[in-house]
Structure 1
Amino acid sequence: MLKIAFFDTKPYDKAIFEVLNKDYHFDITFFEVRLNDRTVKMAEGYDIISIFVQDKASSKVIDQLHAYGVKLIALRCAGYNNVNFKAAKDKIRVVHVPAYSPHAIAEFTISMMLTLNRKIHKAHNRTKDLNFSLSGLLGFDMYGKTIGIIGTGKIAKILIKILRGFDCRVIAYDPYPDHEAAASLDYTYVALQQLFKESDIISLHCPLTKDTEYIINASSINQMKDGVMIVNTGRGKLIQSKDLIESLKSHKVGSAALDVYEEEDKYFYEDFSVEGVQDDILSRLITFPNVLVTSHQAYFTKEALNNIAATTLKSMKQFEDRKTLEHEIAYVCDENGCAIKQL
């Protein structure tokens, strides 16, 4: 029987995996700690480890896992920038969950736009204090506004469908445009500079790569409309936070909704309500009245958790049965060079 160690598990993770594991009977141990250079020793004696977005499978960790006999890393998420695939090549196989609930993230994105625009969070806090004034709560109609979408994968396409229901004009940028989807959903692909120039709201849905890291920075912000809203439910490092703060202070950016943050691994998913945080940038972002920060919860629905668990356990079963790993990712080299690819 395979022995499996889960890192960075919360009570809701354990609950859903224990239910679905009744069909597989894997020997699973759940650890609350995150995988890193210091905790990797806990993986000794296990065949498979499962990790989440804040775990760190560095080259040092990969080498130690390989020495312990770990044969598979199962990511319980779609993103995989926390794994050193070059180090894992020919040592440890890696699988992920490519799509657990694109609807969850798209719906959360639109809720952030509406909450930030109509100041619903501020109104709620006011009325609890019996303050029913409307001063400072002015928003705008979504109808007719231009929404710029960067990255047009599954999540973005669902979001676009929702936005078209508001009669928004939707423009998009993607280095690999899907013109068939654009025609079907009634949106238009444009150059990135045009998207920056014309959008009232910009929403980020692209993967984090060397080309997209800090795609929102001082230079790109300067190309945007005054008062633009920026929404990020993708990856924290798509935005240069220091530049965002300066643009919020100058009112170039009118508002920002952030479900991710570039240094979130130090804080997100944990409770710091007593001790506070030592990150001055995150603390400053939270103080802005026109910034909405949530802790990487866009994916967090019952359906998504069930899909994550089902896909992860299915991959482990495929590995046990020596079948093709449907969701395997690897560092592949060919005549065109080396890259991380879905096999």
Structure 2
Amino acid sequence: MKAIAFSVGSFEEPLLRDTNHELTLVADQLSMDTVDQATGYEAVLIFGTDDASRPVLTRLHQLGIRYLLTRSAGTDHIDQATADELGIDVKSIPAYSPGAIAEYAVALMLALGRHLREATDNARQFDFKLTRQLVGFELRGKTVGIAGYGNIGQALARILTGFGCQLLAYDAKPEAAQAESEVPIELVSLEDLLTRSDIISLHLPLTEQTQGLFKRETFDRMKRGAMLINTGRGATLNTTDALEALRSGQLGYLGIDVYEHEHGLFFEDRSNSETPDPLIEELLSLPNVLVTGHQAFLTQEALDAIVSQSMAILDDWAH
């Protein structure tokens, strides 16, 4: 199949080149400015940062594109209603490596709980003094609430069971989540998860109901000093409200790998930018916050799975 892949990063280029399809790779993001590069192709491969809004999809349809594949689990960047209307078949990679994101969430928990950022900053100055600020806590015995109990949430539960955590989960479909769970976990309401958890990890899909779900009122119902981790969807967290909760001490720790305003910011070197993001700047100034640039998925195993599943989908379309 003749296809073009947009937003191809250096980390995935060698894998995408080694395929049996006629695949053109471009670093440009898909947008109205770049969409005409898809002229002459049958399928388009995109990434989570690409623009698959109605105008772009309409132009792709005009160019004869029948297939659209996103190399991501999330599809909130795609106007699915327009794709259905135009007859464009849309596919995603829903379960390429749940363990990659789950392990990263635990890495953020451990790094925050054991003050690794402060410790490594001190070590770079050859300051190895043990202080009160470096006293951490163990995961063992802590109550961890998992908001969103799909593939990633369940992978996280399996890991945290080994740490000896007490596990709670909130899910929009609790019956299905309970049936699929492989470890002892208590399915609870969102209210119970907020009030009982020492740590909350977000793995929610982005919907009208979950957008901005974690905001001032939500933080006020959480345990004072609790930790919040978000490796799911950036827009489920109101960053301005999170900053207020951090300043007041209501929120004790924050670890995010996704950000509500990450489009146009993440996936590029912004070190010389004259207009840095003020919210991210303030978050980075706080010792009890960790921010990374949407890299939880970035393991060799996950990349291999994304490419192999993408090629399997192209195979199906080709036949």
1:98 to 94, 97, 122: 94
Name the residue aligned to 1:150. Answer: 147
Code of the aligned partner of 1:36: S
Gaps of 5+ in 1: 322-343
Displaced runs of 4+ in structure 1, greater than 4 A?
Answer: none
Asked if 1:122 corresponds to 2:121, the answer is: no
Tell me the distance in 2 between the aligned counterparts of 1:164 and 1:4: 43
- Per-residue Cα deviation, 1:278-332 (whole angstroms, up to 9, x for no partner): 32112222221111001111111111001000111111110110xxxxxxxxxxx
Gaps of 5+ in 2: none
Larger displacement relative to structure 2 (269-278 or 197-206) = 269-278
Aligned length: 315
Cα offset, 1:29, TM superposition:
1.2
For the 8 Å contact 1:144–1:167, the answer to whether it is kept is yes
- TM-score normalised according to structure 2 size: 0.96
- Per-residue Cα deviation, 1:25-83 (whole angstroms, up to 9, x for no partner): x2211111101122112222211110001001110001100001111111101100001
Tell me the distance in 1 between the aligned counterparts of 2:280 and 2:36: 31
Code of the aligned partner of 1:156: G
| 1:89 partner SS | helix
1:133 to 129, 134, 152: 129
1:46 to 18, 26, 41: 41
Cα offset, 1:277, TM superposition:
4.6
Cα offset, 1:255, TM superposition:
0.7
2:168 to 148, 168, 171: 171
Structure 1 pair 277/294, CA: closer, same or farther in 2 (3 Å)? Answer: farther
Tell me the distance in 1 between the aligned counterparts of 2:201 and 2:157: 10
Asked if 1:230 corresponds to 2:225, the answer is: no
Cα offset, 1:276, TM superposition:
5.2
Tell me the distance in 2 between the aligned counterparts of 1:268 and 1:236: 12
For the 8 Å contact 1:257–1:292, the answer to whether it is kept is yes
Tell me the distance in 2 between the aligned counterparts of 1:137 and 1:280: 27
| 2:94 partner SS | coil
Cα offset, 1:275, TM superposition:
2.3
Tell me the distance in 2 between the aligned counterparts of 1:104 and 1:319: 28
Cα offset, 1:181, TM superposition:
4.2
Cα offset, 1:10, TM superposition:
1.0
Code of the aligned partner of 1:271: D
Larger displacement relative to structure 2 (157-166 or 221-230) = 157-166
Code of the aligned partner of 2:123: T
Tell me the distance in 1 between the aligned counterparts of 2:145 and 2:164: 14
1:261 to 259, 276, 289: 259
For the 8 Å contact 1:115–1:121, the answer to whether it is kept is yes
Larger displacement relative to structure 2 (84-93 or 193-202) = 84-93
Tell me the distance in 1 between the aligned counterparts of 2:246 and 2:218: 14
Tell me the distance in 2 between the aligned counterparts of 1:80 and 1:175: 18
For the 8 Å contact 1:277–1:283, the answer to whether it is kept is no
RMSD of aligned Cα (Å) = 1.2
Code of the aligned partner of 1:133: K
Name the residue aligned to 2:200. Answer: 202
For the 8 Å contact 2:140–2:164, the answer to whether it is kept is yes
For the 8 Å contact 2:270–2:276, the answer to whether it is kept is no
| 2:210 partner SS | coil
Q: Once the two structures are aligned, what percentage of the paired residues are identical?
A: 36
For the 8 Å contact 2:140–2:165, the answer to whether it is kept is yes
Tell me the distance in 2 between the aligned counterparts of 1:124 and 1:276: 28
Asked if 1:67 corresponds to 2:98, the answer is: no
Tell me the distance in 2 between the aligned counterparts of 1:17 and 1:273: 28
Tell me the distance in 1 between the aligned counterparts of 2:226 and 2:5: 41
| 1:264 partner SS | coil
Code of the aligned partner of 2:240: K
Tell me the distance in 1 between the aligned counterparts of 2:97 and 2:79: 25
Cα offset, 1:222, TM superposition:
0.6
Structure 1 pair 253/207, CA: closer, same or farther in 2 (3 Å)? Answer: same
| 1:32 partner SS | coil
Asked if 1:87 corresponds to 2:82, the answer is: yes
Asked if 1:9 corresponds to 2:8, the answer is: yes
| 1:272 partner SS | coil
Tell me the distance in 2 between the aligned counterparts of 1:283 and 1:128: 22
- Per-residue Cα deviation, 1:145-177 (whole angstroms, up to 9, x for no partner): 111110111111111111111111111111212
| 1:99 partner SS | coil
